[in-house]
Amino acid sequence: MKHVEANFDGLVGPTHNYAGLSLGNVASQHNAHATSNPREAAQQGLAKMASLRNLGLVQGVLAPQERPDLATLRRLGFTGSDARVLSQAAAQAPAVLAACYSASSMWTANAATVSPSADTFDGRVHFTPANLTNKFHRSLEPEVTGRILRAVFSDEHHFCHHRHLPEHDSFGDEGAANHTRLCADYGQAGVELFVYGRSAFDPSRPAPSRYPARQTLEASQAIARLHGLDSDSCVFIQQNPAVIDQGVFHNDVIAVGNGNVLFYHQQAFLDTQTARHEIREKFGDGELHFIEVPTAEVSLQDAVQTYLFNTQLVSLPSGQMALIAPTECRDNPAVAAYLARLTGLETPIRHVYFMDVKQSMRNGGGPACLRLRVALSDTELAAVNPACLLDEALQLRLGQWIDKHYRDRLSIDDLRDPALITESRAALDELTQILKLGTIYPFQR
């Protein structure tokens, strides 16, 4: 049986905007209240998906969520017609309105944690939506994320969906952004790495002091239990609190793994030697590559600004690996020099492809944030909703759909325009038909 790792990218929603909602995410804070271009953002994301498909990889599409989240605004006491809810919120609580308008579900690395069937006790692919408790705008996502994932991976024979963890910071869970899997082959049992920012129940462990640690050890342990993973195949690693305080709000801003390669910055983890030792032991006998990027070559600040580690590390059909990097990496001399050197080293990484995802980058979302990885066997892939797998026809259709429905500029002031609700709903209604998702959105129910 053949196994592949598919990337499911989040389509950027029609209300993509810059609201400065994420304390600890330097780009989000820096670009607060800039004017966005949702159409360009969605087209950039689609172009990245098309490039990966052209490289011979399986590429899927995950639908965005409905925004503004009027149900939440009503729950917070705004009443009357949709237009009235909007005008009241804009006048009385503009920051809350902006949060309810965020298109943040585009970053599907935070949609869920996924364990492939080769690792789980019942031989099914397990999904747990992330609760994203640390940021209010993101905490609105898990319910609908679960619905979208069930609509794409609906066959219970192959796919098992769990409810998101309890909604409390003690179990703060940010999904695959803090989870990596190393393996000799996608079809073989691998080592699942869970990287956490702090322990909720053991105050003696170090924690960041300036910015929040969004993922707890206890959340990661719960996911491993839910997915029925063998403890001999799991490694729990604490992120270096000092790098969280410098803007590394998820581990995928400082490390990425694929196959038998772990690519990470020297300062990424609290205790790198112990982590490497445990990974090595649990990985078994096969070839394993730790590619550690020294601070002397790439400073932490350059890593955060360019998202060098938010690259997608993918295995090409040839067996060689490639990094899918944001163009910011090409434009930074130190990072560009490092990448040029990397492809000449004795590691599986032979190619680097640069993608322009600037609209997402300005909110702190690089190429790897935009995708959820799902390793699948042939049979499991055949059970995935085929309308969500990108082919040339779907690519063309989505391109036209974006041009038809999306605005090319959106400022914070535009969020008070009731026409944006109607436009977004029309777009999403058509999208559920294109992707054959059924009725997943509150306005359709």
Give contact residues for ligand SUG (rule: CB under 6 A): 18-22, 25, 28, 102, 104, 107, 109-110, 135, 138, 177, 249-250, 252-253, 363-365, 369
**C-alpha to C-alpha distance for 28 and 104, rounded to whole angstroms:** 11
Instruction: Supply the minimum distance, in Å, between the C-beta of residue 114 and ligand SUG.
Output: 14
Q: Of 100, 160, 369, 388, which residue is the catalytic one?
A: 369
Q: Of 141, 174, 192, 328, which residue is the catalytic one?
A: 174
Q: Does residue 160 have an active-site annotation?
A: no
Torsion angle (degrees, nearest 10) of CA 365, 168, 445, 404: -10
φ, ψ (nearest 5 deg) of residue 44: -60, -45
Distances (CA, A) of 320 to 55, 116, 288, 313: 12, 22, 14, 11
Q: What is the DSSP letter of 214?
A: -
Instruction: Supply the minimum distance, in Å, between the C-beta of residue 288 and ligand SUG.
Output: 24
CB closer to ligand SUG out of 145 and 377:
145
Amino acid at 390: L
Distances (CA, A) of 43 to 48, 237, 399, 426: 9, 36, 7, 18
How far the first Cα of the chain sits from its last, in Å, is 40
E-strand spans in 55-144? 59-62, 112-115, 125-129
At which residue do the structure tokens 């869920």 appear?
A: 112
φ, ψ (nearest 5 deg) of residue 146: -60, -40
Q: Do you find a cis peptide bond into 68, omega within 30 degrees of 0?
A: yes
Q: Does residue 250 have an active-site annotation?
A: yes
CB closer to ligand SUG out of 141 and 380:
141
Residue 212: count of CB within 10 angstroms of its CB: 19
Instruction: Supply the minimum distance, in Å, between the C-beta of residue 106 and ligand SUG.
Output: 9
Helices (H) and strands (E) in the chain, counts: 17, 15
CB closer to ligand SUG out of 192 and 252:
252
CB closer to ligand SUG out of 152 and 254:
254
Instruction: Supply the minimum distance, in Å, between the C-beta of residue 428 and ligand SUG.
Output: 19
CB closer to ligand SUG out of 308 and 394:
308
CB closer to ligand SUG out of 13 and 348:
13
Query: In the sheet that 125-129 helps form, which strands lie side by side, from edge to edge?
Result: 112-115, 125-129, 159-161
Instruction: Supply the minimum distance, in Å, between the C-beta of residue 101 and ligand SUG.
Output: 9
**C-alpha to C-alpha distance for 21 and 11, rounded to whole angstroms:** 20
Question: CB neighbours of 277 closer than 8 A, spacing ≥ 6?
Answer: none
Buried residues in 141-180 as b, exposed as e (16+ CB within 10 A):
bbebbbbbbbbbbeeeebbbbbebbeeeeebbbbbbbbbb
Q: Of 158, 250, 265, 405, which residue is the catalytic one?
A: 250
Instruction: Supply the minimum distance, in Å, between the C-beta of residue 326 and ligand SUG.
Output: 12
Instruction: Supply the minimum distance, in Å, between the C-beta of residue 375 and ligand SUG.
Output: 18
Q: Does residue 369 have an active-site annotation?
A: yes
CB closer to ligand SUG out of 139 and 327:
139
Instruction: Supply the minimum distance, in Å, between the C-beta of residue 211 and ligand SUG.
Output: 11
CB closer to ligand SUG out of 53 and 250:
250
Catalytic residues: 174, 250, 369
